[in-house]
Structure 1
Amino acid sequence: MKYLKKYKIPFSGLSAGKHNFEFDVDDAFFACFDHSLVKKGKLLANVQLQKRENMLVTNFEITGHITLTCDVCLREFQSPLDIKEKVIVKFTHDEWDQGSDEIIVLSHHDYEFDISNLLYEYINVRVPHYPKCSEQGENLDCDPEMLRQLASEDAIKNELKEDQVDPRWEALRNIKNN
């Protein structure tokens, strides 16, 4: 978790106004999260933080690619990502539990904003439910050799099903024919 320390923005010393930060999101970042859908990737997160007296307005722009495995042919491929998100960080003295996806609440005593979990969520939410090279990859088609193998296995399974008829079904067919 020491690796994730570089994804903290120390905002207490910043003057009011806009400030820009860049963060590299790579394989080491994803390795810090045990159940991440993404294991490999190369992304750049541009974070624009606008500091105001009682809040921070944070705009995220994450671009790059992640490595996915095709559910059809099992080939690893690069899938491009382009994410734009906005988060408002409010400060309060009280315990406030009415936060949402767009509003994060910090104590007035906090001096830094950890964006590692936000980056993790933004990237993993964009992983498709059914990754496929020809749909999420750039100028890729599924591996033709693997598709041929799958087609031949399907044909073999169909032949086996036709050859092996359950005797109970055969008895039912005989009843139908009477």
Structure 2
Amino acid sequence: MMKEFTIPFVGLKEGKHRFEFDIKQSFFENFDYHEFNSSDIKVSLLLNKTSTMMELNFEANGIINVNCDLTNEPFNQDISTSLHLIVKFGEEFNDENEEILILPHGEYEVKVQQYIYEMIVLAKPSKSIHPGVEDGTLDSEILSKLEEYSLKEKSEEEESEDIDPRWNKLKNLLTDK
């Protein structure tokens, strides 16, 4: 499963190597993640191999289609993110540190799909608002209902008319010293 995200580094020469990945909706379905309606993201991975370690620099740019949190209208959200990961070698596998991955000596490949997945999911804004809501161009039934039921601000004149006149008498006590 997802073999294209497994990089066999043992045969690579020291230096920089570039890998490209096209991330579509099926990628997220493999992780049982269904927050996106669709996705079209290009991930570029620059792997810098030295004799003792590897540096992985991920860059992701593209579009995810999500539903607006206010109106539930689908829209395209731009995604642009990056991730830096250092791969070292040790006695046993350890991925507890989010910036350093330790692979056991003798390992010959690294699986990067989990890092790509987390990088993209974490890049999604916590609140997805349709651009048409922000600039007022989206004509939505839900928006109309929200506006209809929202509390209207009262002007100062209206507020002063709502005050019981007996309170004004009490206010005079404070000023009539």
TM-score band w.r.t. shorter chain? 0.7 to 0.9
User: What's the TM-score, normalizing by structure 2?
Assistant: 0.76
Question: 2:48 is paired with a residue of what secondary structure?
Answer: strand
2:31 — aligned with what? 33
Q: TM-score w.r.t. structure 1 length?
A: 0.75
- What secondary structure does 2:27 align onto? helix
The answer (yes or no) to whether the contact 2:80–2:123 under 8 Å persists in 1 is no
1:50 pairs with 45, 48, 52, which one? 48
Report matched runs for 1:100-111 at 5 Å. Answer: 100-111=97-108
Aligned residues between the structures: 152
The residue aligned with 2:65 is 67
* Residue in 1 that maps onto 2:22: 24
User: 1:36-79 CA deviation, whole Å, 9 max, x = no partner?
Assistant: 53352100000000011111101111100111110111111111
Query: Which structure has the bigger radius of gyration?
Result: 2
SS in 2 for 1:132: coil
1:20–1:47 CA contact under 8 A, matched in 2: yes
Q: Distance in 2 between matches of 1:51 and 1:136?
A: 47
| Structure 2 gap ranges (5+) | 151-177
Distance 2:121 2:75 in 1: 16
Structure 1 vs Structure 2: percent identity of aligned residues? 31
Structure 1 portions without partners, runs of 5+: 156-178
Matches within 5 A, 1:5-154: 5-35=3-33, 37-92=35-90, 94-95=91-92, 97=94, 99-134=96-131, 141-152=137-148, 154=149
Which amino acid is 2:141 matched to?
Answer: E
On the 8 A contact 2:93/2:104 being kept in 1, the answer is: no
**Residues 8, 96 of structure 1: alpha-carbon distance in 2 compared, 3 angstrom cutoff:** closer
* RMSD of aligned Cα (Å): 2.7
Counterpart contact for 2:94–2:101, Cα < 8 Å: no
Letter in 1 for 2:143: L
Letter paired with 1:144: S
Q: Which residue of 2 aligns with 1:162?
A: none
Give the drift of 1:146.
2.8
Distance 2:11 2:93 in 1: 24
Q: Deviations over 1:97-132 (max 9, x none)?
A: 584111001112211111100011001111222211
Taking the aligned partners of 1:54 and 1:111, their CA distance within structure 2 comes to: 13
